[in-house]
């Protein structure tokens, strides 16, 4: 490749790296790797050229930023929750929207299917659950199933299962997003059929005030995990100017951060389901817990990321 062609092809990228600052360690690392590749190429084919000297200086700057950040990165965990995860959520906001729409459409389908086929709920939820719930309705306690297990064992089992579901939703993104869409579809249909089951028996409000005590956090986290899977799938489907492998590495890194960020949400949801949902609470208390949970999800994953991004004008958006 002629020097002029090499310079023309990469000038815009180098200028962007030089003029647009970023404090994200991952982006600094990615830029440093790309610059070292370009520098290596230039040293091989244009050892005495001006472009080689320029790249050597620019790469040295990013080397200092990268290793300087590593030395100063003592508050990484706090920084992750305060800035890194929220900024990432803003970057992938459209994947989150798509995941929500997929899940919402599946809920509607589950509701409509259950309303037109009496056997659909049994097919989705299982005969054992339906029969036990019908018996509980006759006894005047339709949601007594949440009181049946030991609280500590229930908390552990629910939390582990929810985290497992989130990782599956994320990992299935490897199947070019189709696997993630399937997981969202499956859980959405189940929720729609579940809620119709209680609606048909005049217990919709009672079920909402009971189940959504923990369900607000749990369902929201599953949708966000689905968005993480879509990020991975998108990185494979649309690598843009990057190699498919590099694009996948970037998407997988983003997805893993999102799923890790959900672990405390699932722990909180498991605690609520095991220790709080089983209680007979006044409707206003149940409604308040649901409202606080929903407000937190909307604020932290939607509103705060936008505010933080607007306050960080030099923050680059990743290529995906």
CA distance linking residue 132 with residue 137, whole number of Å: 9
Q: Tell me how far the alpha carbon of residue 104 is from its chain's centroid.
A: 16
CA distance linking residue 297 with residue 216, whole number of Å: 9
- pTM attached to this predicted model: 0.74
Q: pLDDT tens digits, the chain, 320 residues: what are they?
A: 788 888 888 888 888 888 877 777 778 888 888 888 888 888 888 888 888 888 888 888 878 776 665 544 557 788 899 999 999 999 999 999 999 999 999 999 999 999 999 899 999 999 998 999 999 998 888 888 877 667 777 788 878 888 888 888 888 988 878 999 999 999 999 999 999 999 999 999 999 999 999 999 999 999 999 999 999 999 999 988 788 888 999 999 999 999 999 999 999 999 998 899 888 899 999 999 999 999 999 999 999 999 999 886 544 444 44
Cα distances from 12 to residues 16, 20, 56, 81, in angstroms, run 6, 12, 17, 33
CB-hemisphere CA count at 13 Å for 85?
A: 19
């Amino acid at each position: 490749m002629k020097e002029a062609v090499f310079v023309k092809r990469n000038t815009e990228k180098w200028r962007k790296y030089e003029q647009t600052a970023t404090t994200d360690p991952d982006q600094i690392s990615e830029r440093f790797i790309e610059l070292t590749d370009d520098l290596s190429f230039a040293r091989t084919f244009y050892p005495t050229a001006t472009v080689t000297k320029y790249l050597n200086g620019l790469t040295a700057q990013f080397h200092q930023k990268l290793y300087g950040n590593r030395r100063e990165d003592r508050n990484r965990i706090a920084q992750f929750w305060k800035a890194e995860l929220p900024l990432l959520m803003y970057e992938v906001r459209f994947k989150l929207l798509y995941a929500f729409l997929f899940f919402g459409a599946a809920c509607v389908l589950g509701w409509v299917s259950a309303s037109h086929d009496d056997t659909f709920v049994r097919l989705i939820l299982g005969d054992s659950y339906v029969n036990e719930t019908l018996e509980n309705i006759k006894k005047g306690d339709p949601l007594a199933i949440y009181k049946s297990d030991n609280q500590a064992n229930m908390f552990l089992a629910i939390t582990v299962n929810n985290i497992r579901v989130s990782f599956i939703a994320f990992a299935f993104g490897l199947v070019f997003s189709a696997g993630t869409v399937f997981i969202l579809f499956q859980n959405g249909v189940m929720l729609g059929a579940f809620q119709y089951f209680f609606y048909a028996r005049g217990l919709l409000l009672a079920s909402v005030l009971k189940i959504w005590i923990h369900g607000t956090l749990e369902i929201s986290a599953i949708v966000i995990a689905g968005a993480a899977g879509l990020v991975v799938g998108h990185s494979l489907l649309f690598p843009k100017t990057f190699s498919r492998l590099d694009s996948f590495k970037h998407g997988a890194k983003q997805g893993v951060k999102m799923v890790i960020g959900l672990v405390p949400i699932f722990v909180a949801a498991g605690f609520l389901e095991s220790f709080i949902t089983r209680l007979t609470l006044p409707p206003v208390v149940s409604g308040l817990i649901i409202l606080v949970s929903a407000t937190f999800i909307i604020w932290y994953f939607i509103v705060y990321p936008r505010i933080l991004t607007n306050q960080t004008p030099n923050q680059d958006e990743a290529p995906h």
